[in-house]
């Protein structure tokens, strides 16, 4: 009896066992019968766990497995076991062994442990066992399928997600050969292999080993060290319409091995299996070839490097070039025939004399040909068997230089001409009576095709170098060399001749020589001589041809005999037909002091030398109505204007004071005597007559101070020689002569 409960009919118990109760009352206790019995089970803290050997959630039909109930922390207690499979309670042992598992063994397994009739663990968690009716098939994979030279391939064998498998790997050398177990992999499902072949694997587990089906097969190829090379026979990287070429796969150090071949054409696998095959230019696309050799299914070379073959649907074109197109005298010209960049061409040469003559074959199959005969040349090339020819090249005309010499001549022979002149250039062929055609090199203008080139109105554009050469008519391949060039210079400015007069001062009986100087005096000039005549309508002159110069003179000088009066002259030059004239020269004067001319120039004061402070007056006298005063060198002056004889006096102004020669010109064309007036800045001047003195007359010379004071002592010099030194203020010459000049 555990407890007298007294009036409390509820009691808590914590021990397992079989319990019953009875009730009693009264002083002399009256007991009831015993109650029914109640069995109370006690759950212990140990945990029951279902395990599987082999360990895996998926079991295959036919495997032997053990389902085991393990009590965690069970120590050495002798446990009894209860099992619940699906909803059925069965089996009292801690192991539940299934031999040759089947689908019917699939289900949920739970267990618990019991120490005695009233103490047990809780039920374990459910362990779901799945039994597959199909044998598993492992999967064999490779990280790559080709073993590089000296390398290996990694193979991996796996069976779903199941565990506890060990693996066997097998290798065949052919589909029909016996498989060889090369390694028991045990639990390591990865293996490295370095031999080609057909590989498969299987898995096994359990004490009485259960095997999977065989895996898929993986073909591993082994790369041999021999090298594959694609060659072209002939070795032409470019083929043309009609040509065929052999593409060949060569295995280096291939020995006597019987190789099989694989091809890739434009990076696609080709059905071609032979060592070589023929290909033609059936399209204009480029083709890339790669190949490799195979000793058997599992031993092969690496892929060769790609070789590109270019193809053209057109015929090949020959190109003919010449290092020069004119054969020099005694020399030759080098012709070169070429066809793109392809090789193995034979070259065929042809020549014709003219455009319409028949072709003549030249024996030479080389691409370079030296020729010394003029003509029209062409070439073409051929190669292969049967031979396929290129198109004919363009024609190249080669001309031969004949020994005749071309020379450019000028008519007239002037290398420097002036704008507006006319000149003829002529191409002359020496030592030749053949009819010639002509070729010119001239600046700017269209080249003539005859032997003469007329420049009718030359301009600066005609300046430059002129050359010519001749070609024989009806035999254009024969020609002269280019002539030496002639340089023609066309000046845009008319030349201005320079006139010199000698002597400048006349003495009785003198002759006057005029000289007219031009550039290039020997270049065909004729000279025209003129006398200046005052022009009443303005301040200029008109020009009258001197006798004998209407057609010009060949000499560049002209002599005037016995002139007595002051006169002005001009010249100009001309040449060619029609005549081209230079400008007029500036006027040149010959001066005479003769006072007996129709016009006389008077000077006041009447002396040669004057002080800068002096007022000098010039006046013209004579039987005329109009006159003007002129001077040399020229300087603008009011005196240049025509004025009446009554108002002809002209004063020299201070700003015009310089040494000069003066004379008068009448409206009727006469010149007066000429006087030489000098302006002195010194304080003393020589007083001498302004007009020439007649030989035999007496002359008095004096000296004058600028201040006007009288001189006490005077020194007189003639040509820097002292001739008088005394108190006399004058030098008197009683009879003047030439020696007194």
> For residue 309, what pLDDT band results from cuts at 50, 70 and 90?
very high
Topology of domain 319-401 in CATH is Immunoglobulin-like (2.60.40)
pLDDT cut 90: percent of the chain above it: 39
Tell me what the mean pLDDT of segment 56-66 comes to: 84
pLDDT surpasses 70 at 161: no
Q: Give the Cα separation of 314 and 340 in Å (integer).
A: 13
> For residue 249, what pLDDT band results from cuts at 50, 70 and 90?
very high
Ramachandran category for residue 284: left, alpha or beta (phi over 0 → left; psi -120 to 50 → alpha):
alpha
> For residue 435, what pLDDT band results from cuts at 50, 70 and 90?
confident
**150 vs 641, more confident:** 150
What pLDDT is recorded for position 640? 64
139-223 — its CATH code? 2.60.40.10
What pLDDT is recorded for position 351? 93
What pLDDT is recorded for position 516? 96
Phi, psi of 461 (to 5 degrees): -65, -20
> For residue 466, what pLDDT band results from cuts at 50, 70 and 90?
very high
Tell me what the mean pLDDT of segment 604-617 comes to: 86
> For residue 571, what pLDDT band results from cuts at 50, 70 and 90?
very high
Q: What is the pTM of this model?
A: 0.49
Which pair of structure tokens corresponds to residue 362?
A: 């030249």
Q: Assign domain 1-134 to a CATH class.
A: mainly beta
What pLDDT is recorded for position 536? 78
- Poorest-confidence range of 395-399, 411-415, 593-597, 651-655? 651-655
What pLDDT is recorded for position 7? 66
Strands 268-269 and 127-132: unpaired
pLDDT surpasses 90 at 476: no
What pLDDT is recorded for position 276? 95
CA distances, 207 to each of 64, 66, 159, 201, 211 (Å): 8, 11, 18, 20, 11
What pLDDT is recorded for position 353? 85
Tell me what the mean pLDDT of segment 534-548 comes to: 86
What pLDDT is recorded for position 190? 87
Tell me what the mean pLDDT of segment 120-125 comes to: 92
* The architecture CATH gives domain 228-311: Sandwich (2.60)
Topology of domain 406-491 in CATH is Immunoglobulin-like (2.60.40)
- CATH fit for domain 593-682, picks 2.60.40.10, 1.10.3720.10, 2.60.40.1170, 3.30.360.10: 2.60.40.10
pLDDT cut 70: percent of the chain above it: 94
Domain boundaries, the chain: 1-134, 139-223, 228-311, 319-401, 406-491, 498-590, 593-682, 693-741
What pLDDT is recorded for position 621? 86
Average pLDDT, the chain: 87
Sheet holding 406-411, edge to edge: 406-411, 423-429, 452-455
pLDDT surpasses 80 at 501: yes
CA distances, 195 to each of 139, 298, 357, 385, 430 (Å): 20, 8, 75, 46, 92
Tell me what the mean pLDDT of segment 216-242 comes to: 92
- CATH fit for domain 498-590, picks 2.40.240.20, 3.40.30.10, 2.60.40.10, 3.30.43.10: 2.60.40.10
């Amino acid at each position: 009896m555990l407890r007298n409960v007294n009036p409390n009919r509820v009691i808590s118990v914590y021990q397992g066992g079989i319990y019953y109760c009875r009730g009693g009352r009264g002083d002399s206790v009256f007991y009831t019968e015993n109650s029914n019995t109640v069995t109370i089970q006690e759950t212990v803290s140990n945990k029951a766990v279902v395990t599987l050997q082999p360990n895996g959630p998926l079991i295959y039909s036919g495997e032997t497995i053990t389902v085991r109930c393990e009590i965690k922390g069970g120590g050495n207690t002798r446990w009894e076991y209860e099992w619940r499979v699906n909803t059925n309670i069965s089996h009292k042992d801690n192991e539940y062994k299934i031999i040759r598992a089947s689908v019917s063994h699939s289900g949920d397994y739970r267990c618990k442990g019991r120490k005695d009739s009233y103490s047990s663990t809780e039920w374990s968690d459910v362990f779901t066992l799945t039994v597959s009716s199909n044998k598993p098939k492992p999967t064999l994979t490779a990280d790559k399928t080709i073993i590089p030279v000296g390398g290996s391939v990694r193979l991996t064998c796996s069976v779903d997600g199941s565990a506890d498998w060990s693996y066997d790997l097998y290798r065949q050398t052919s589909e029909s050969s016996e498989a060889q177990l090369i390694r028991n992999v045990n639990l390591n499902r990865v293996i490295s292999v370095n031999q080609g072949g057909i590989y498969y694997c299987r898995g096994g587990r359990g004490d009485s080993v259960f095997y999977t089906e065989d895996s898929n097969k993986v073909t591993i190829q082994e790369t041999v060290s021999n090298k594959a090379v694609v060659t072209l026979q002939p070795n032409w990287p470019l083929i043309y319409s009609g040509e065929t070429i052999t593409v060949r796969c060569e295995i280096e150090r291939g020995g006597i091995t019987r190789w099989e071949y694989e091809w890739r054409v434009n990076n696609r696998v080709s059905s071609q299996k032979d060592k070589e095959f023929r290909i033609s230019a059936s399209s204009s696309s480029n083709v890339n070839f790669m190949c490799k050799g195979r000793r058997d299914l599992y031993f092969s070379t690496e892929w060769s490097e790609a070789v590109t073959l270019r193809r053209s649907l057109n015929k090949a074109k020959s190109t003919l070039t010449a290092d020069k197109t004119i054969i020099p005298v005694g020399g030759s010209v080098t012709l070169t025939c070429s066809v793109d960049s392809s090789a193995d061409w034979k070259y065929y040469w042809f020549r014709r004399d003219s455009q319409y003559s028949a072709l003549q074959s030249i024996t030479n199959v080389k691409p370079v040909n030296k020729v010394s005969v003029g003509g029209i040349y062409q070439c073409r090339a051929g190669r292969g068997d049967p031979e396929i020819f290129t198109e004919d090249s363009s024609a190249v005309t080669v001309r031969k230089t004949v020994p005749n010499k071309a020379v450019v001549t000028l008519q007239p022979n002037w290398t420097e001409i002036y704008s507006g002149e006319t000149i003829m250039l002529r191409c002359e062929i020496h030592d030749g009576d053949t009819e010639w055609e002509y070729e010119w090199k001239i600046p700017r203008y269209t080249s003539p095709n005859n032997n003469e080139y007329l420049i009718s109105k030359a301009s600066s554009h005609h300046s430059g170098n002129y050359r010519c050469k001749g070609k024989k008519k009806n035999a254009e391949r024969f020609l002269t060399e280019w002539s030496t060039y002639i340089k023609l210079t066309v000046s845009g400015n008319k030349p201005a001749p320079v006139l010199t007069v000698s002597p400048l001062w006349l003495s009785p009986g003198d002759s006057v020589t005029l000289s007219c100087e031009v550039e290039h005096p020997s270049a065909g000039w004729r000279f025209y001589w003129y006398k200046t005549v005052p022009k009443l309508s303005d301040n200029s002159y008109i020009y009258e041809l001197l006798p004998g110069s209407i057609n010009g003179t060949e000499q560049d000088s002209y002599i005037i005999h016995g002139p007595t009066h002051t006169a002005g002259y001009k010249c100009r030059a001309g040449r060619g037909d029609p005549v081209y004239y230079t400008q007029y020269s500036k006027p040149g004067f010959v001066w005479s002091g003769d006072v007996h001319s129709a016009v006389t120039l008077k000077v006041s004061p009447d002396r040669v030398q004057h002080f800068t402070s002096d007022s000098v007056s010039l006046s013209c006298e004579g039987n005329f109505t109009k006159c003007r005063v002129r001077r040399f060198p020229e300087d603008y002056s009011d005196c240049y204007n025509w004025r009446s004889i009554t108002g002809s006096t002209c004063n020299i102004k201070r700003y015009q004071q310089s040494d000069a020669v003066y004379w008068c010109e009448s409206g009727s064309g006469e010149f007066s005597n000429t006087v030489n007036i000098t302006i002195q800045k010194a304080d003393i001047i020589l007083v001498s007559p302004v007009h020439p003195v007649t030989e035999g007359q007496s002359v008095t010379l004096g000296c004058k101070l600028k201040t006007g004071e009288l001189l006490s002592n005077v020194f007189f010099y003639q040509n820097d020689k002292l001739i008088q030194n005394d108190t006399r203020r004058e030098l008197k010459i009683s009879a003047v002569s030439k020696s007194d000049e």
